[in-house]
Amino acid sequence: MAESNVMLKTQRREYRLALWLFCAVLVFHGWGATVGWKSLNLPGCEFRQTQTAVSAFFIQREHNFSLAYPTPVLGKPWSIPMEFPLYQWTVVWVSDGLHVTLTQAGRGVSLACFYLTLPALYWLLARLGLTRSRRLLALGLVVTCPLYIIYSRAFLIETMALMFGSWFMLGYVRTVEKRNGWWLALASAAGAGCGLVKVTTFLFFLAPAFLWTLWWFREDWRQPVPLRMQALVKRGNWCALTVAIPFLASVWWVRYSDGIKQLSVAGNFLISERLSGYNFGTGVRFSPDLWQQHWQVLFHELTSVPVLAGCAVLALVFARRWWALIGLLVVMFFAVQLVFPILYAWHEYYYVASAFTLMLAFGLTLCGVFESRLPRVAAWALVLVIYGLQAGGFVVHFYPAQKQISNGGSNLTLALRSVMAPDEVMVIVGDDWSSMTPYFAQRRAYMIRRNLESTWNEIVPAFERLEGEDVTALVLHGDQVNNQNLIGLAAKYFHIDPRPAFRWRDATVLLHEQIRPQMAAFLRNVPEIELLDPAAADSNMMLRQELEMTKVLHRYQDDFSQIKPTPFKYYSTFGTTVFEYEGRKVYNAHPDTRFWFKTSGGRHTFTAEVGIVPAAYDQKLVEGDRSDGIEVRLEEEMPDGGRNLLFTRAINPRDTEADRGMQRVEHAFELAQDGVVVLTIGPGPQGNYTRDWAMLGPVEIK
Distance spanning both ends of the chain, measured CA to CA: 102
Q: Indicate the length of the chain as a whole number.
A: 702
Residue 570 near residue 547 (C-beta atoms within 8 A): yes
- State the Cα–Cα distance between residues 685 and 700, nearest whole angstrom: 25
Helix, coil or strand: residue 461: helix
- State the Cα–Cα distance between residues 348 and 46, nearest whole angstrom: 12
List the strands of the sheet with 444-448, edge to edge: 444-448, 425-429, 471-477, 507-511, 502-504, 530-531
How many CA within 13 A on the CB side of residue 167?
Answer: 26
Residue 472 near residue 553 (C-beta atoms within 8 A): yes
- State the Cα–Cα distance between residues 660 and 679, nearest whole angstrom: 21
- State the Cα–Cα distance between residues 475 and 413, nearest whole angstrom: 11
Of 3.40.1440, 2.60.120, 2.20.110, 1.20.1630, the CATH number of 547-701 is: 2.60.120
Q: Tabulate helix, strand, coil % of the chain (nearest 5).
A: 55, 15, 30
Q: Give the tens place of pLDDT for each residue, 21-77.
A: 999 999 999 999 999 999 999 999 999 999 999 999 999 999 999 999 999 999 999
Low-confidence ranges of the chain (pLDDT < 50): 537-538
Q: Is 23 left (phi over 0), alpha (psi -120 to 50) or beta?
A: alpha
DSSP state letters, 309-354: HHHHHHHHHH-GGGHHHHHHHHHHHHHHHHHSHHHHHH-GGGGGGT
- State the Cα–Cα distance between residues 579 and 626, nearest whole angstrom: 21
Contacts of residue 334, Cβ cutoff 8 Å, sequence gap at least 6: none
Helix, coil or strand: residue 608: strand
Q: Give me the phi and psi of 483, to 5 degrees please.
A: -80, 75
Which DSSP state fits 700?
E
Residue 125 near residue 138 (C-beta atoms within 8 A): yes
Alpha helices in 550-596 (DSSP H): 554-557
Residue 386 near residue 307 (C-beta atoms within 8 A): yes
Strands 694-701 and 563-564, how do they pair? Answer: parallel
Quick one: three-class SS letters along 12-80?
Answer: HHHHHHHHHHHHHHHHHHHHHHHCCCCCCCCCCCHHHHHHHHHHHHHHHHHCCCCCCCCCCCECCCCCC
- 181 exposure class (CB count in 10 Å sphere: 0-12, 13-18, 19+): exposed
Helix, coil or strand: residue 571: strand
**Cα–chain center distance at 581:** 40
Burial 129-164 (b: 16+ CB within 10 A, else e): ebbbbbbbbbbbbbbbbbbbbbbbbbbbbbbbbbbb
Q: How wide is the angle at C-alpha 196 spanned by C-alphas 193 and 326, nearest 5°?
A: 65
- State the Cα–Cα distance between residues 441 and 473, nearest whole angstrom: 12
- State the Cα–Cα distance between residues 273 and 557, nearest whole angstrom: 44
Burial 376-415 (b: 16+ CB within 10 A, else e): eeebbebbeebbebbbebbeeebbeebeeeeebbbbbbbb
How many CA within 13 A on the CB side of residue 615?
Answer: 3
CB atoms within 10 A of CB 68: 18
Domain ranges of the chain: 2-401, 411-538, 547-701
- State the helix-helix crossing angle for 102-127 and 355-371, rounded to 10 degrees: 40
Q: Model's pTM, two decimal places? A: 0.90
